[in-house]
A and B are shown apart, each in its own frame.
Chain A
Amino acid sequence: MVEETLTLTNRLGLHARAAAKLVHTASAFSSSITLAREGDEVDGKSILGLLLLAAGKGTSLLVRADGSDEAAALGAIRDLIARRFDESD
């Protein structure tokens, strides 16, 4: 299992489009992936879960990946968040 705390820097935080991108990214990996915020932990492959985290800009999330491709999974999510979900603003 690997984990890392990542902070959202894009303007809208984990809104619908960003959440959809995260689900797409996470779903490509076989590892189980979770994100936690202040103790609330949700499945990274569940759009409902991600949206209900209501994580805005500046929120720090503890991302955990557990499985055979866990390192790659965590890396992909780190990149996505660092690229601000490829949003233009």
Chain B
Amino acid sequence: MKRALSLKGIPVSPGVAVGRAVVWVSREDASPRRALEPEEIEGEVERFRRAAESAVEEVQSTAVQVKELLGPEYAAIFHAHALFLKDRAFLGPVEKRITLEAVNAEWAVTAEADALVARFRSLPDEELAHRAADLEDVTQIVLKHLGEESEGRLKMEDLSGEAIVLLADEIAPSDAVRIPRDRVIGFATERGGATSHAAILARSFGIPAVVGVPRLLESVGEGDRVVVDGRDGVVWREPPEDVVALFRNRREQEARREKSLKERSVEGVARTRDGVELAVRANIELASEVADVCEYGADGVGLFRSEFIYLATGSLEFPDEGAQTTIYRDVLRRLAPRPVVIRTYDLGGRKGARQLVGNDEVNPVLGLRGVRLCLARPEMFRTQLLSLLASASAGDLRILVPMVSGVEEVRRVRALLEEARADLTERGVAVPDHVPLGVMIEVPSAAVTVDLIAPEVDFLSLGTNDLIQYTLAVDRANETVSDLFCPHHPAILRLVARVTEAARAARTPLAICGEMAGDPSLFLLLLGLGIREFSMGPRTVPNIKEFARTVSTQEAARVARAALSLATPDEVAALLALEMRELPTVTRGPGAEVTA
């Protein structure tokens, strides 16, 4: 048995997991070189050819779907991909490498593709240089099919055993979504941050997770006994028995506490000590989380991230109008009469939409994403708007638009919504007279001109994750600047104060749906700045409702005023820490890890 070892990382999902390590290698990352025996060569060339053929089939079927959804212009890209995959100038050299170097197909494909990519990138014509990205995509598709051919590769669905703790370099959102929750009880990764999608999903699933653990994969191996401490951000390898006992104890206590919090949460709405009623809703992405909304006593859904309908399928298939209507209707019906705020597709940036944008953006986070991408792809957007309106009679639907930077976008969306409504009416589909339309305030220009936007919408929702990113110019997913991502920054406090004031003046309801609302100390601050509607991961709801009942809005306002007078994030954090210590029931709770 190996020596006990503990490693420190960023805690992103609370709880304790005691289990056995399984090292997860995603199909796309490793293309290790494997030397072949002479008799394996012919089979390997065959395997490559089959993979290339299935890749062509996949690309061609994608081309057909894309043509229907987005038009022939976009399908053309996939036709070009299909041609690459049939091109002897690509296939020939790969086969030659497999044969002459006696090396596996993955290695040969990657090496050939790299050489071609380099040649493309060096072309003076920019458009042609972009084709390098197409070649990379095509290579990934082939690698994926090669992976499906071979038995060695692990799929999430194939993980066997119990009490598995997954260890990985990184877990992509499309893999995280498929984690088998009956077998995997926690995970730890070398890379990643608190707001990465794997972290958000871990919290949704209620499994402990720690990310950003340096040298994790060198230190912990397959089969090692592992403890993942999602509260303090520690991963233990072969911990001594007494340490395990302590963790088991803690886990039981936490489970008991969670149970009683849940019961209280379900009982009723949260009212502050001075009687102010608050709405505490849930942020969800999977239709499967709808059950959690009720189980954890959330007052509704403050944010349904609709793009996950698309991303979770792992393919390029956008569900059609009928399929989307069914999904939205189901969510609305199960939660009625609770309000459900559905955010229109927030794709682009890093969320798997390279194909939609068509080429590599240098700054995807500042590029064609959110409402911009939707307005640039009207067919895709129209389909979603039609589906949303068609489902609206099933419950209390509110439509939320992401990444709005000004009033003009709001007007364009309203116009499209009116067209969709007219279309449905003509078809004889019933649509409620008033379906509230709101926008996310996450782009600084929207925050600064919120007084112009508020009168034109039915509600506003503060997206603090992105607001912080854009205002402080810090990429959320970039580990090298993660220290600079500060919810406590005076700029953020002032922007929130400004938005709350404008919303109040315009009498427009305002909610907050960023992860920061789930941290009790930040919740206190937001409450003090004037927010009365909150939305967070469902599992964080009970703790926040409980906390809300112990504070008064006047105390919170005092804390906020004091915080607004401070000059640095550290000072604000220190003030909050002090205030929290003074409060009768200080509860760190699940949400607190988010802002670590």
User: Once the chains are docked, how many angstroms separate the CA of A16 from the CA of B134?
Assistant: 10
Assess the B76–A20 pair: CB atoms within 8 A. yes
Assess the B128–A46 pair: CB atoms within 8 A. no
**Cβ of A82 < 8 Å from any Cβ of B?**
no
Within the complex, the shortest CB–CB distance from B445 to chain A, in Å, comes to: 33
Contacts of A43 in B (CB 8 A): 88-89
Assess the A52–B123 pair: CB atoms within 8 A. yes
Main secondary structure of the interface of B (DSSP, over half): helix
Which B residues contact A (CB, under 8 angstroms)?
Answer: 76-77, 79-80, 83-84, 87-90, 116, 119-120, 123-125, 127-128, 131, 134
Q: How many residues of A contact B (CB 8 A)?
A: 17
Given contacts A20-B83, A52-B120, A54-B125, list 4 more A-B pairs with CB under 8 A: A48-B84, A49-B89, A51-B131, A54-B123
| 27 CB-based A-B contacts, threshold 8 Å | A12-B127, A15-B125, A15-B128, A16-B77, A16-B80, A16-B131, A20-B80, A23-B83, A43-B88, A43-B89, A45-B88, A46-B88, A46-B89, A47-B80, A47-B84, A47-B87, A48-B84, A48-B87, A48-B90, A48-B116, A49-B87, A49-B89, A51-B120, A51-B128, A51-B131, A52-B120, A54-B128
Contacts of A17 in B (CB 8 A): 76, 80
Assess the A47–B83 pair: CB atoms within 8 A. yes
User: Once the chains are docked, how many angstroms separate the CA of A43 from the CA of B116?
Assistant: 16
Main secondary structure of the interface of A (DSSP, over half): helix
Assess the A48–B89 pair: CB atoms within 8 A. yes
Residue of A nearest to B124 (CB): A54
Residue of A nearest to B79 (CB): A20
Within the complex, the shortest CB–CB distance from B28 to chain A, in Å, comes to: 22
Assess the B87–A52 pair: CB atoms within 8 A. no
Contacts of A56 in B (CB 8 A): 125
Contacts of A45 in B (CB 8 A): 88
Within the complex, the shortest CB–CB distance from A28 to chain B, in Å, comes to: 14
Contacts of A54 in B (CB 8 A): 123-125, 128
Within the complex, the shortest CB–CB distance from B114 to chain A, in Å, comes to: 14
Given A20-B83, A48-B84, A52-B120, A15 contacting B127 (CB threshold 8 A):
yes
Contacts of A51 in B (CB 8 A): 120, 128, 131
Within 8 A of B (CB), among A20-65: 20, 23, 43, 45-49, 51-52, 54, 56
Contacts of B120 in A (CB 8 A): 51-52
Within the complex, the shortest CB–CB distance from B76 to chain A, in Å, comes to: 5
User: Once the chains are docked, how many angstroms separate the CA of A19 from the CA of B82?
Assistant: 13
Within the complex, the shortest CB–CB distance from B79 to chain A, in Å, comes to: 6
Contacts of B87 in A (CB 8 A): 46-49
Within the complex, the shortest CB–CB distance from B30 to chain A, in Å, comes to: 26
Q: From B79, B83, B120, name the one whose CB has the most chain A CB atoms within 10 angstroms.
A: B83
Q: From B77, B89, B131, name the one whose CB has the most chain A CB atoms within 10 angstroms.
A: B89
Contacts of A15 in B (CB 8 A): 125, 127-128
Contacts of B89 in A (CB 8 A): 43, 46, 48-49
Contacts of A52 in B (CB 8 A): 119-120, 123
Within the complex, the shortest CB–CB distance from B347 to chain A, in Å, comes to: 23
Residue of B nearest to A16 (CB): B80
Interface string of A2-25 (1 = CB under 8 A from B): 000000000010011101100100
Residue of A nearest to B129 (CB): A54
Within the complex, the shortest CB–CB distance from B246 to chain A, in Å, comes to: 61
Residue of B nearest to A49 (CB): B89
User: Once the chains are docked, how many angstroms separate the CA of A47 from the CA of B91?
Assistant: 12
Residue of A nearest to B92 (CB): A46
User: Once the chains are docked, how many angstroms separate the CA of A23 from the CA of B88?
Assistant: 12
User: Once the chains are docked, how many angstroms separate the CA of A45 from the CA of B128?
Assistant: 18
User: Once the chains are docked, how many angstroms separate the CA of A54 from the CA of B130?
Assistant: 12
Contacts of B125 in A (CB 8 A): 15, 54, 56
